[in-house]
Structure 1
């Protein structure tokens, strides 16, 4: 995995790697864990992404899987390279009439051509020795050429396994891109969740502080005789409610912290603080342009198109397997013998046709039927994939625009609720309002702030989900799959 974003390699990331990676790995001694739990690490979103791309368990497992897949492709590409083989035997024999030994060495090489031609060249050396017949040494060379004329003939059929392997490699790469994109989105979403929990805790703390301040004001009013003492009961109940909300926010904050640490594969006792902001901008989103972008980059959609090519090649192979096996065969060999009773040299050559006809073999017909129906199924799957991608892109663009409008409304609602509470507080100070009204307006402000926070987080997550859908999340973060 290569991450080219400049911020990832800055000083902040270096400090983070030294402090977090060196100390915050699972299974470290208790002393280091205790020291780490006392230290709060400020973590930006870029740093969280960089750590996740380096340490996340799914990412590391995917790298190992890609090693296997790349080697599978190498094996398929080796199909047309010369294949060397060496065989040797050595045997001892003993009987009532004679005893002896026999040795044989036979190296050979075979090459498969792109049109199905198979060339085999072998050399054999034998040594036979017995008490009665003496020694006999022989060596010779044999060359064989086999050219399929029906089954297995032609470049399309012969290279089909290699083309299938390459298509499978492309599909595996797209699958890896989808997996990395999903993991990256999970990290971004978890980071946003931590930001949300931190903001919720801050809002709950501010609301509690406002309730305590209101109680202090009422205490002064009671002391001056302007307010009855029982008026503080409502405020104390509101303080208890705010304390309850603060406890819940703290619990949610801890849960969000653990979720992010798990995705980053860091020690769960690590104290981290999301240092990012919740500032949002509205990018221009055009449905037509977004759909074209998704059709060029969306990994699941592109993999579906490649599966159609795979089905077509499988049909070609199945149709070829149903043909008669007619091949032209030719060869030449030479043999030289030398023994205690003399020696000699001989050679011969041959050429001819070899025919094998399958009769009533239902397995061959089954292969053709399966391959043909698979092609037709893939055509339907491809049509459905196009329609589904268009639907998802349309929903994403519309939903993103709707969430932006909701964010604007929630921001305006928050500003109005804050002004309303400030005005009512000023009225209370001059005796023209009541605690009930203040508590009611305080509840309105708390709900508005919560709605605005949820709208911001939802919009940020929706933008990341849109990038995943369009297949550009990795590109936007300048993450390359070259090392996969």
Structure 2
């Protein structure tokens, strides 16, 4: 009966264990590094905001392009008017209408052209009543123009807002590319940190299995065979406890790394814990030489391109401020041709008085000069100071990025050396641990020597894995700083527009 219950208990435990294992496998989600970057590109809210900023900047450019679109103006009105004289009273009714077009050229000339027309009826009453007069018609065509000679004149000033909008658009686009590159770097860093955390757990679990067997063997030798000592049991038990503690810490680290990656992928913390990494390390190829990186750094860096666009915008602001600091001298003029005619006894049909239309021409010069130093003078000085500050910041970032890339190159070389050394150390430590275990079986060494050899093997393997992860991460950091990371992952971020 007891054997039957034990069998049923073991069967149930096996079923539960299998179900738990199957559930864990089914819920785990394995991603490659490329898949992680693609998911971040599709779901990262910061990238979505950056793309919306690009759209807004493009609309600002379009608004400036349409700033000088011709404008149609028109109107119609009716009027009734009375006036009283010493012996009479008069009144009039009129209907007036006008239509025209206004526009501004790229050099600042404001032009308006159009037509005006009206019809007027006049009535006169007094001591001797007079009948209403026949309507009088008038019409005219006109053109007006104003050209700034100093302030507000010239294509460079008139088109300055458009140039500023285009610089802002370029800056926003480069900022979006920089955000995409930074997101890719953050995802790759988080991914390979999770990869290392997973491998570290594997190392600790393998060491835990070895330590458990060593404790079991030591107890067997002491209790049953009489060839072991309590010191060996305690030594191996202490090592087992230390490994269990390290494993617990490794699992905690693994959870935090998974949550960090999941956050970048737009996942909840609970779902992030199920993320798994692949076994394969990326084939990065040979790193570009220092000379190649520095040669293309200024041209390819998204951050420097954004700062150059900001500098262009600062130059445009100086141009606008200097223009506003000038005196205003405008040349203006107008010309018109008009006709007035009436129907009545004095005219046959609609003949114009004098038989021709009336002409008018007017020209003038208008100027405006501040009496003393105006606020525009201070604004111009402020704009130049801000431009100089932008230039200084740009140069500072060039030097900082060059130094950063140079430092990362040193770190990459060191990481490659560490990988080679750690691999060699791991091989030697593995052979030493195996030799110490064999000597312990022969009774020619101590349990302490075995524990130390096992610990050296474990530490060497962790250093090798850490060096591999650091090598990959450093390579990506160099490419990001040099503006080359999007060469690998640019397609994942292309046109990820919000729906």
Q: Report the TM range for the smaller structure's normalisation.
A: 0.7 to 0.9
- 3-state SS, counterpart of residue 365 of structure 2: strand
Decide whether the 8 Å contact of 1:52 with 1:264 is kept in 2.
Answer: yes
How far did 1:285 drift? 3.7
- Residue of structure 1 equivalent to 2:70: 83
Distance 2:139 2:317 in 1: 44
8 Å contact kept, 1:196–1:453: yes
Residues 320, 209 of structure 1: CA spacing in aligned structure 2 closer, same or farther, 3 A cutoff?
A: same
Report if the CA contact (8 A) 1:280-1:460 is conserved: no
Residues 441 and 331 of structure 1, relative CA distance in 2, 3 Å threshold: same
- How many Å separate the matches in 1 of 2:120 and 2:441? 119
User: Which residue of the partner structure matches residue 214 of structure 1?
Assistant: 214
Q: Which runs of 5+ in 1 are unaligned?
A: 1-34
Residue number among 279, 293, 297 corresponding to 2:296 in the alignment: 293
Q: Distance in 2 between matches of 1:214 and 1:187?
A: 41
Corresponding residue for 1:194? 194
Task: Assess if the C-alpha contact under 8 Å between 2:101 and 2:113 holds in 1.
Answer: yes
Contact 2:106 2:158 in 1 (8 A): yes
Alignment CA distance shift 1:435-1:248 (3 Å): same
Q: Distance in 2 between matches of 1:89 and 1:319?
A: 42
1:317 to 310, 316, 320: 320
Q: Deviations over 1:148-202 (max 9, x none)?
A: 2222222222222222221221111111111111111111111112211211111
Per-residue CA deviations over 1:332-371 (Å, capped at 9, x if unaligned) read 3466789999998866332222222222142121122123
1:109, 1:482 → 2: CA distance? 43
Deviation at 1:266, TM superposition (A): 2.8
Selected match of 2:375 from 363, 372, 393: 363
Structure 2 equivalent of residue 249 of structure 1: 250
Give the conservation status (yes or no) of the 8 Å contact 2:218–2:229: no
Report the secondary structure of 1:471's partner residue.
coil
The 1:164/1:224 distance shift into structure 2, 3 A limit, reads: same
Deviation of the 1:232 alpha carbon? 1.0
Structure number with the bigger relative contact order (C-alpha 8 A, sep ≥ 6) is 1
Secondary structure at the aligned position of 2:371 is classed as coil
Distance in 2 (alpha carbons) for counterparts of 1:250 and 1:414: 23
**Post-superposition offset of 1:286:** 1.7
Superposed displacement of residue 120, structure 1: 2.2
Q: Taking structure 1 as reference, are residues 389 and 407 closer, same or farther at Cα in structure 2, changes over 3 Å only?
A: same
State the alpha-carbon separation in 1 of the partners of residues 431 and 342 from structure 2.
114
Q: Is the 8 A contact 1:91 1:102 kept in 2?
A: yes
Instruction: Specify the alignment match of 1:27 in structure 2.
Output: none
Task: Indicate if the aligned counterparts of 1:90 and 1:101 stay in contact, CA closer than 8 A.
Answer: no
Aligned residue in 2 for 1:11 = none
Q: 1:67 aligns with which of 55, 58, 68?
A: 55
Question: Residue 364 and residue 232 in structure 1: after superposition, are their counterparts in 2 closer, same or farther (change >3 A)?
Answer: same
- Could you say what the CA RMSD is over the residues aligned between the two structures, in angstroms? 3.6
CA deviations on 1:87-106 (whole Å, 9 max, x unpaired) are 668799999x9999998876
SS at match of 1:351: strand
- Shift of residue 308, structure 1, vs aligned partner: 3.2
Gap change, CA 1:131 and 1:226, over 3 Å in 2:
farther
> Residue in 2 aligned with 1:435?
447
CA separation of 1:335 and 1:238: change in aligned 2, threshold 3 A = farther
CA distance in 2, matches of 1:228, 1:42: 46
Q: 1:56 Cα deviation (Å)?
A: 1.1
Q: Relative to structure 1, is the Cα distance of residues 91 and 368 closer, same or farther in structure 2, using a 3 angstrom cutoff?
A: same
Q: Is the 8 A contact 2:328 2:368 kept in 1?
A: yes
Instruction: Report how far residue 60 of structure 1 moved.
Output: 1.6
Q: Compared with structure 1, are the counterparts of its residues 54 and 338 closer, same or farther at alpha carbon in structure 2 (3 Å cutoff)?
A: farther
Q: Distance in 2 between matches of 1:374 and 1:49?
A: 38
Counterparts of 1:289 and 1:427 in 2: how far apart (Å)?
54
Are the counterparts in 2 of residues 315 and 371 from structure 1 also a CA contact under 8 Å? yes
| Contact 1:84-1:107 at 8 Å conserved across structures | no
Look at both structures and tell me which one has the larger radius of gyration over its CA atoms: 2
In structure 2, distance between residues paired with 1:474 and 1:93 = 73
CA contact (8 A) 2:109 2:145 kept: yes
1:263 CA displacement: 1.0
- Out of 38, 41, 52, the residue aligned to residue 50 of structure 1 is 38
Q: 1:141 to 1:453 in 2, by over 3 A?
A: farther
Contact 1:149 1:328 in 2 (8 A): yes
List aligned pairs for 1:92-103, cutoff 5 A.
none
Corresponding residue for residue 154 of structure 2: 154
The match for 1:116 among 104, 108, 118 is 108
Gaps of 5+ in 2: 1-22, 85-89, 125-131
Looking at structure 2, the residues matched to 56 and 249 of structure 1 have their Cα atoms a distance apart, in angstroms, of 28
Which residue number corresponds to residue 241 of structure 2? 240
1:264 deviates by: 1.0
Normalized against structure 1, the TM-score is what? 0.81
Aligned length: 448
Q: Residue by residue, what CA displacement relative to the aligned partner does 1:28-75 show, whole Å, maximum 9, x if unpaired?
A: xxxxxxx99952222111111111111111112222222211111111
Matches of 1:430 and 1:100, distance apart in 2: 132
Displacement of 1:250 after TM fit? Answer: 1.8
Verify the 8 A CA contact 2:262 2:268 in the aligned structure 1: yes
SS at match of 2:66: helix
SS at match of 1:252: helix
TM-score between the two structures when normalised by the length of structure 2: 0.79
- Evaluate the alpha carbon distance shift between residue 112 and residue 192 of structure 1 in structure 2; reply closer, same or farther with a 3 A threshold: same
> How far apart in 1 are the matches of 2:324 and 2:341?
46
Question: SS of 2:270's equivalent?
Answer: coil
